[in-house]
Amino acid sequence: MLTLPPPKQRTQRSIEGGGGLHHGSTTKSKLQRERKKKSQSPLDSHIVQFTEQDLMDIDLQDIVMAGSPLHWTKHRRLMEKLIAHKFKLNTPNMNEDTPLHVMVKRNRLRCVITLLCSGARVNVQNKFGNTPLHHAVKIDEITLTQTLIVFDADIDILNKAKESARHLAAKESPFSAQILFVLSALGAKRCSNEQKNCNAGCREGGDFDGKWSPVLIELTKQYESLFQNIKNQKFFEEEMKKDAKEYQSSNQNVNLLALDGGGIKGLVTVQVMIELQKYLKRPIIDYFQWIAGTSTGSFIVVFLVTGTPLSQIRNIYMQFKDKVFVGERPYDAEPLEKLIKEIIGSELRMEDLRTNYHKMVMIPAGLIDRKPMKLHLFRSYESHYELLKIPDFDRGFSRQPSRDQLVWQACRASGSAPTYFKTFGPFIDGGLIACNPTLDAMTEIEFRNIALREVGRESECQKLRFVLSLGTGQQQTEESKAIDIGAYSLRLTEINNQIRYIYQMASLLLNEICNTDNHIVNRAEAFCSATNILYFRINPMFDKLIELDETLDFKIVNALWETKRF
């Protein structure tokens, strides 16, 4: 048995035969208390089998401060293993630091994200009153600061020295100006008059809010203007204050939630809803009877409808990226399919979303076994075709499932992004034909009402009152060299120009196919204006968009922080 000697006789851990680690408390007195509770907490005496790699992933410098193995972990792999064994996430060490404090101090971003996604408390203070955010600012780490803010760190908590994160950021360091902007852009308060050693970045009446790119500062002003616009809409406020009884008594008046496609950028959509949720009395999904989602939006829709909390959906996406986007493109879809089934089950059908959860759900996909490609909708309700007894398939082609489709298969079909995943039978990613599904959903509601009137069921018609369309982020319009189509040539001397031409043309076509804004939004706005429907489009503007299959944590965290500024 290999025994790790306790520092000053205050802690003890044993690793048996290179393979066992006792899961218990940290100090001698705590060990005694835990032994008394053994019958109540069997996990406290649980032994975790450790491999040689696990032992190498332990940071010996942190063991001297006691705590739990979560404090000593150097890599995410071991942290996930320990969390799976139910080690407590917020156990303090001798400095009253939680594992999150220690991971921030050690600048272990992946471990920090793993802890936060697993439910670690972000605002715990140690014996000096410091939160993990204080530590992130002290070590001059921009991404860690953004990460903690994204997960709702309180940016105004004071430590025992009466220092806020903003006060610490105002001190000169290589990245202090950028960190100060990260905090001030989210409304971090300045110091009171009683606080000493302040400067223009933190003192009351100061005029310095940090530095970032001029583009981001301009975007911040646009965000403030747009969000104020939304909050000032009387109807928006009234609609969001309604309780469940009011909705049940007005089944004929319905609201629509439409979510764009965009791969891992679905995290942006989720973050927008997390921020909106803070202004609502009930879960955001309760305010909408009709829900449409394309590609990544279909996953979010299904998770929401089946009761998955927004914070958990964000955690799913943060973990899913490293399990799904592995190796070369096209990626193996099996991990993606397995993930969906684990969350919603493998037997749930589209019609169950109506009968069990009382939601009218629409998921678009493209049928590519014909020319031209055809929009196919997986529905949880009777379509206008079914109501009118009209065949919903082209002559010469077999019928494709809709209400009877398994939900995980509908999501898989809608999320079959070309070059990222293989097609799913005759289906291809819905983003190629309805990346922003708002107009298609409004058309569905209108056609269904027409069919209901036609078959004498006018009492079931529904009046659309409010549309909320959420995007996955957009980039400001930038200059591009005009393509000279007439200059195309096969001459060898022009080969470089031709390659550039082909690339530019392909990029132009792809951008337009996947476009979710500009004229797409204008059409939806006009439709709503003509029919007296309140329409809101929220799609954060970024300095630079992340890729659909982005896995780098610092890029994703930055995108979520920019979204939170909204």
What interhelical angle do 142-150 and 176-184 show, nearest 10? 10
Indicate if 278 and 395 belong to the same structural domain: yes
pLDDT for 267 beyond 90: yes
Q: What is the mean pLDDT of residues 278-305?
A: 95
Q: Amino acid identity, residue 323?
A: K
- What is the pTM assigned to this prediction? 0.85
pLDDT of residue 537: 92
Q: What is the mean pLDDT of residues 446-456?
A: 96
pLDDT of residue 205: 86
pLDDT of residue 530: 92
Question: Does 419 fall in a domain?
Answer: yes
Question: Does 431 fall in a domain?
Answer: yes
pLDDT for 162 beyond 90: yes
Q: Does 163 or 488 have the greater pLDDT score?
A: 163
Do 474 and 517 form a contact (C-beta atoms < 8 A)?
A: yes
Q: CATH number of the domain at 33, please.
A: 1.25.40.20
Name the one residue in this structure whose structure tokens are 């998955």: 308
Question: Does 524 fall in a domain?
Answer: yes
Indicate if 142 and 110 belong to the same structural domain: no
Indicate if 91 and 153 belong to the same structural domain: no
Question: Does 4 fall in a domain?
Answer: yes
The string of pLDDT tens digits covering residues 44-78 is 445 778 888 888 888 888 888 888 999 999 999 99
> Which of 365, 353, 360 has its CA nearest to residue 449?
360
pLDDT for 188 beyond 50: yes
Domain boundary among 97, 121, 145: 121
Indicate if 113 and 161 belong to the same structural domain: no
Q: Does 289 or 279 have the greater pLDDT score?
A: 289
pLDDT for 480 beyond 50: yes
Confidence of residue 276 (pLDDT cuts 50, 70, 90): very high
Burial class (CB in 10 A: 0-12, 13-18, 19+), 487: exposed
Indicate if 402 and 528 belong to the same structural domain: yes
Q: What amino acid positions are annotated as catalytic residues?
A: 295, 429
Q: Does 27 or 491 have the greater pLDDT score?
A: 491
Question: Does 496 fall in a domain?
Answer: no
Q: CATH number of the domain at 523, please.
A: 3.40.1090.10
Question: Does 380 fall in a domain?
Answer: yes
> Which of 183, 108, 184, 191 has its CA nearest to residue 149?
183
Q: Which of 151-155, 159-163, 243-247, 519-523 has the lowest mean pLDDT?
A: 243-247
pLDDT of residue 25: 44
CA distances from 529 to 464, 471, 517 (A): 12, 20, 17
CA distance 226 to 241: 21
pLDDT of residue 488: 58
Q: What is the mean pLDDT of residues 151-171?
A: 94
Q: Beta strand 360-367 with 374-379: parallel, antiparallel or unpaired?
A: antiparallel
Question: Does 500 fall in a domain?
Answer: no
pLDDT for 426 beyond 70: yes
Confidence of residue 216 (pLDDT cuts 50, 70, 90): low
Question: Does 219 fall in a domain?
Answer: no
Do 290 and 255 form a contact (C-beta atoms < 8 A)?
A: yes
pLDDT of residue 213: 62
CA distance 22 to 82: 11
Indicate if 269 and 351 belong to the same structural domain: yes
Indicate if 366 and 406 belong to the same structural domain: yes
The string of pLDDT tens digits covering residues 317-366 is 998 898 899 999 999 999 999 999 999 999 999 999 999 999 999 999 99
Q: What is the mean pLDDT of residues 176-200?
A: 91
Indicate if 302 and 171 belong to the same structural domain: no
Domain boundary among 212, 228, 249: 212
pLDDT for 476 beyond 60: yes
> Which residue range(s) make up the domain with 93?
1-121
Q: What is the mean pLDDT of residues 407-412?
A: 97
pLDDT of residue 506: 74
Q: Which of 431-435, 508-512, 514-518 has the lowest mean pLDDT?
A: 508-512
Confidence of residue 31 (pLDDT cuts 50, 70, 90): very low
pLDDT of residue 247: 53
pLDDT of residue 306: 97
Indicate if 382 and 349 belong to the same structural domain: yes
pLDDT for 5 beyond 50: no
Domain boundary among 72, 94, 121: 121
Indicate if 78 and 139 belong to the same structural domain: no
Do 407 and 353 form a contact (C-beta atoms < 8 A)?
A: yes
Q: What is the mean pLDDT of residues 142-170?
A: 95
Indicate if 53 and 134 belong to the same structural domain: no
Confidence of residue 455 (pLDDT cuts 50, 70, 90): very high
CA distance 151 to 113: 9
pLDDT of residue 173: 82
Q: Which of 129-133, 378-382, 517-521 has the lowest mean pLDDT?
A: 517-521
Indicate if 4 and 143 belong to the same structural domain: no
pLDDT of residue 239: 62
Calculate what percentage of the chain has a pLDDT beyond 70.
82
**How many domains in the chain?**
3
Q: Where are the alpha helices (DSSP H) in 394-494?
A: 407-414, 431-434, 438-454
Do 475 and 541 form a contact (C-beta atoms < 8 A)?
A: yes
